[in-house]
Structure 1
């Protein structure tokens, strides 16, 4: 994983940030499918959750989940772009990471050997989430991996 200080700036990457003004608890962004963008995705999530007054434990968990899901989309699909949506509700924080569906298999948790360096990401997502899953994207061309996390509010 690329350290956050090495991540390129959003402007150079051409990422797109959006939000629906009528929904103060919805946020989305889109970045090129580059390893360097994983750190920027974490920063975007943390900044928004702080604005929403989410507790630090939930912020930490959300950053880890976004990092795992975004990394999987970058590494295991041949996507050009990866997008992320956050929805903050009364019961949970929903995180959705969408790729362009260019992978031969669907994401699933697996047990990795003790000497393997990767392969535990979705197990972590499952441990931190109330629920998680995979669905086709709205256009039917890609897929969305989602997770619902419990949260608290600071305020």
Structure 2
């Protein structure tokens, strides 16, 4: 199956293609900040509702932080894509290890793994799959802000 997440755009957009953006993240120390700044500018320019942008920036921060913490063999990349009524956020890195899809126990003193629980809470779908030189962790978010 050739899903959007499998075929994220890698070259210039055409006039009728959905909005997309790609940002290489080579500076590990400042990658999360650079990704948030880039995404805020891009998503605002695309007219994404502010509440969705706020949640997307949290998701981006978590995914990029995980990629930079666990990738020692190369840089990461942030991909943003609007398709239909969903925003696809994907972070590709050079580490082939899959992510853990577990949430820490309530009584656990371990702080690791909580970021993916946050991503899971904010996204309507999320997952991970291998790509040629590593893995891609992705999240899909509804473009309509959820009523509180």
| TM-score normalized with structure 2 length | 0.80
2:47 maps to 1:53: yes
Contact 1:19–1:27 (CA under 8 A) maintained in structure 2: no
TM alignment of 1:19-34, pairs within 5 A: 20-22=12-14, 23=17, 25-32=19-26, 34=28
Three-state SS of the structure 2 residue aligned to 1:21 is: coil
Deviation of 1:78 after TM superposition, in Å, equals 1.4
Query: Once superposed, which parts of structure 1, at least 4 consecutive aligned residues long, lie more than 3 Å away?
Result: 112-118
**1:39 correspondence with 2:36:** no
What are structure 1's unaligned runs of at least 5 residues? 1-17
- Report if the CA contact (8 A) 2:71-2:93 is conserved: yes
What is the number of equivalent residue pairs in this alignment? 133
Worse-superposed segment, 119-128 or 30-39? 30-39
Task: Give deviations 1:58-102, integer Å, cap 9, x for gaps.
Answer: 101110111000000000121321001111122210011000025
Query: For the residues of structure 1 that align with 2:108 and 2:99, how far apart are their CA atoms?
Result: 23
Name the stretch that deviates more: 75-84 or 45-54: 75-84
> Is 2:110 aligned against 1:116?
yes
Q: Whole-Å Cα distance in 2 between the matches of residues 128 and 80 of structure 1?
A: 28
| Structure 1: distance between partners of 2:103 and 2:121 | 13
Cα RMSD of the aligned pairs, angstroms, is 2.1
